[in-house]
Each structure stands twice: as C-alpha cells, then as structure tokens.
Structure 1
Amino acid sequence: MAGANLTLVTEFLLIAFTDFPEWGFPLFLLFLSLYLLTVTGNLGMIILIRVDGRLHTPMYFLLSHLSLADICYSSVTVPQMMAVLLQHGAALSYSRCVAQFFSFTFFGSIDCYLLALMAYDRYVAVCRPLLYVTIMTRKARLGFVAGAYMAGVFSALVRTVSAFTLSFCGNNEIDFIFCDLPPLLKLSCGDSYTQELVIVVFAIFVIPMSMVVILVSYLFIIVAIMRIHSAGGRAKTFSTCTSHLTAVSLFFGTIIFMYLGGNSNRSSERDRVVSVFYTTVIPMLNPFIYSLRNKEVKEAARKIVSSVKLP
C-alpha cells in the first residue's frame, strides 16, 4: 500500500460540503429527518408483519427482512454523514473506513438478493398459484433468506478486499460523506487495474444476476397476466406486483447509475447526490411504497391504530 517516497495512509478525511459550511446545519436536519423516517417506517413495517396474522405470508416475511436490511443500510452511513456536516469534515481511521465499507456493501448486497427473491415469490404466486404453499414453505423461505445473508457476506468480503488492496498515497482527503467505492478509486495511485477489474466483474455478477432473476420472473408474470381474459382480472393481478416493481426500479436504477457508469470524468457532486439518494431516500421510501398501495398493510396499520386507546 505504500512505496518509495510515499506516505502510508492511516486515516481518511471526509471533506464533503466543507466549502459550504452554511449548508452544514440545514443538511444535518434534513438527513436526521430522513433517517428517523427510515427507522420509524421500516421498524413499523416489521412490527406490523410480526403482530398481524394476515401478514404471515412468504412475501411479507421477505419484506420484513428487506426492512431490517434497510434500517442497517442507512445506519451504517447516515450517522457518519451527519457527523461530517456538523463538524465540517471528519477524520475516519483506516480500519473504520474498511468496516463501514464492508457493512455498507453487505447490507446493499442483501437488498439486491431480497428484491430478486421477492420477484421469484411474485412469479410463484401468479404463475403457480396452486403450488404456492408447497413451494414457498417456511423451510424454503428460511433457506432463501439464509442464502441471501451468506451471499451478502461473500459479496462484501470480495469487494472490500479488492477495494482496500488499492494503493492510497499522498492525498487522503475524500470529497465525500462516507467511505464508498468511487472516492476510494479516485484516491488510488499506482496500478489498480486488477482490483478495479475484480470490483467491476463482481458488480456485474451481483447486480445484473439479481436483475436477470427479476426480469425473467416478470416476463413469466406478464405472459400469465396476458392470458387472463378480463381487464379487471389483469389489473388486479398486476397490482400485486406494482409495489415491488417500484422498489426495484428505484434501487437498481441508482445503483447502476453509480457503479456501472465508469470511473472516468465522474463528477463528485453527482456522485454525492446519487449516494445520498440510495442511502437515505430509497430506504425511507420502501415502507411507504409497500403500504400506500397495499390494502392488507393499510388494514393492519388501521387495526393497530384503532386498538390504541388514549387515556
């Protein structure tokens, strides 16, 4: 990591927004509000699924794990962002940066795998309704989720090792708000072709492979829906998939834009906006996406609210 006449990097300086100190406190309040909404919304979704018997289905089981992953996903980065804004920059030790990068990648990968599993769940529900209970058994969905977590560990480990075997020398200032891949690549010096190739190839494996599962599942779903004769039946069947499609579009759209768009001529400002979107906005939106268009979730929430009696 260090060579001749090079300084060994032992910490990174997060300096995003330090040129605009007047933005610090307003942005801190914004991120705090988004973070509280994220935790409250996703925790509320987990509680609803746990206490309401109507939501004890495979789809909601997967959704509860997606909500848990979203809480952790935001908790890894957003508090760090708020510290950077309040302190007008922050020093992060090398080991803390590694830990943050690993955790962020771990929970982000789990999101990818869970969204793919939820697409498969919708495929079975629409295309194999008579076999749904047989296929999506408790043992099967526990195995699916366990596999997603194990794959997440492997994904994070490969990506973290590849990123932190880069050579960081001289400048250790990250014009960013947490340890993410684009700013680390900009800090690297020397020959980083092998590491970048591993990172890109693995990103191609994780993201597009998850998308292939989603696209193939929805291809079969669309074919099945087109075979339904009544327009009302087609609309009702498709409505069970709209929440998941919305979440998939938001998550994978920003991830692809961020990581598969190449590293040359990248704008730090653009990268910061996109990173804020997928670390704060998307995890906050997911519980609202799944509740606003879902009658079962709304009824469960209404039931809990009505059961709370004020003194």
Structure 2
Amino acid sequence: MEADGQAGAREPETRERGSRESEAREFESQRARLFGLAYRLLGSAAEAEDMVQETYLRWRNAGPVEVPAAWLARVVTNLCLTRLASARVRRESYAGPWLPEPVFTGDGALGPLETVEQRESVSMGLLVLLERLNPMERAVFVLREAFGYGHAEVAGILGIEEAHSRQLHRRARVRVGQPRKRFDGDREQHLRIVRSFFAATVDGDVKTLERMLADDVVAWADGGGGTAARRPVRGRARVARYLSGLSGRPEAGQVTFAFEEVNGEPAVLIREPGGLLAVMAVEIADGRVAAVRTVLNPAKLAYAAAQLM
C-alpha cells in the first residue's frame, strides 16, 4: 500500500514533467520561424535570439494556449516592437553606415529560402530599406511580405484594426519603394559572378571591376566606428578604385577567403588568424554588381562566427 501511495503521489509530478516536455517540443518546432521573424524585425541576430528566449520564458509560464503558432508569433512580434523603439535611437547615433548582422543561411537558420521572394526577405539590401519604416510599419510589412499573414491575422497579432493593418502596409510599401530588379538566375551563375568580382578585387584590377559594376553601384562598410569607410562610396569609377585599394592594406597578405551563403545570397567570408574578420555581401542586378555591403564590426560578426564553429 505504501508503494502504491508513493506511486500515486508521483503521478502529478510525472504529468507535469510530461506537459513541460510537450511544451518544449512545441516551442522547438517553432523556434526557427520565431528567430527568422525576430531577425527580420530587428536586423540583429543577437537581439533576435534574446527575443526568442524571452518568448520561451513567457510560453513556459502561460496557461493553455489554443493556437500555439499564433500566440508565439504575437509575443515575439510585440517584444521586438518594444526593442525597436530603443534600437532606432542607437542607430541614429551609430558611427558610420549601419548594416544588419550577417547570418549564414545555407543550413536554414532563417527558414526556407527556396524562392526569390524568400531570399529577398532576408537580404541585406531589404533589411537596410526596412530601416526607413517605423516599428509598426515594419512589423506589418514583415508579417505580410515575408510570412504571408493575412491582414486579419496581422491585426490580431498587433492588436489593431484590420483597416489599420492595410493602411500601414500600403504606407510601408511606398516608403520601402520598388527594390531594384535583382538577379534571379540560378545560384551557380550568381556565385560565378561573385567569385569573378572578388578575384578582380584581390588582384586590384580596376578595369575588370569597372566592367562588372553597375553605373550606380554603392559600397558600404560597417566597422562600428573602426577603420572602415565612414561614408558610402558611390559610382562605378569610385567604387572600383576603393575596392582595388583593399588589396594593398597591410592585413591583406594574412587573410583567407571562402564563399558562403549569407542572408540568402553568395557572399565572401574573410578570415584572419584570430578569427572572422569580415563578411562581404554582394548584390547582383541584371548581371552586374549593384551593391557591396561589408560588415567588419566584431560585435556584429559574433553570431556568424559562432555559426562557423
């Protein structure tokens, strides 16, 4: 009888542990989607991880949830909205050009990127454009454009009227503008262009670079106030000279290069003996290099460096 009593006393604990395990499995099945949503909203992988972890803590303390996916999306989105308010203040005083934290996406870190639209939704180019939006506009745009939520669903997540969601979406699309038609051929061809472009950069071959660059090409470098250029470099001739000059820097002889998928596109991974030095994302449009975005800020490379381990 005593044994039976002890077993009975343990039953609630066993059921509770089973419930916790079920909750954990449910959350893990949603984690990649939540991280992808938070990253698109914030442009920061480190902050996105923080938001996902905070969402998990709230999930553990919540009561029964009828539709877990919708509940989790609502919580992580609203946490990101709060974080965006302070992020905008920090970025306004940021030293030099601000770029998103790079994320290696070959392993599905930001969810499926099987279509041009899905790759576009995580590209550095679009994430920079999203900085033009206020937090609510950005949330509506991301939920609609990247995740395909209907306006009724968006309104439910954000706690607004459906008509307001439609208004915010229209305003966001106008403020983002029509992005340049991106190169949408096969990825191997895109990678060949990036390889050729970077070979010309390493060789300091100005003439070849000029042939490969679009007339209105722009090069950004985010060093977080370090040695990177504080202003974007614009125009074919100037960008060609700027890029060709990189091969003459003292550290150039000590670095190694590799090509990886970053934010849905082929990019150049630049390493030095101490670790990851830079990630150079190359945007292609109509077969030419339309933009070069190089992240050198060590704080912004921490997540990508951890992915490589």
For the pair shown, which has the larger CA radius of gyration, 1 or 2?
A: 2
TM-score where L is the length of structure 2: 0.29
TM-score where L is the length of structure 1: 0.29
Q: Where is the helix percentage greater, Structure 1 or Structure 2?
A: 1
Q: Where is the strand percentage greater, Structure 1 or Structure 2?
A: 2
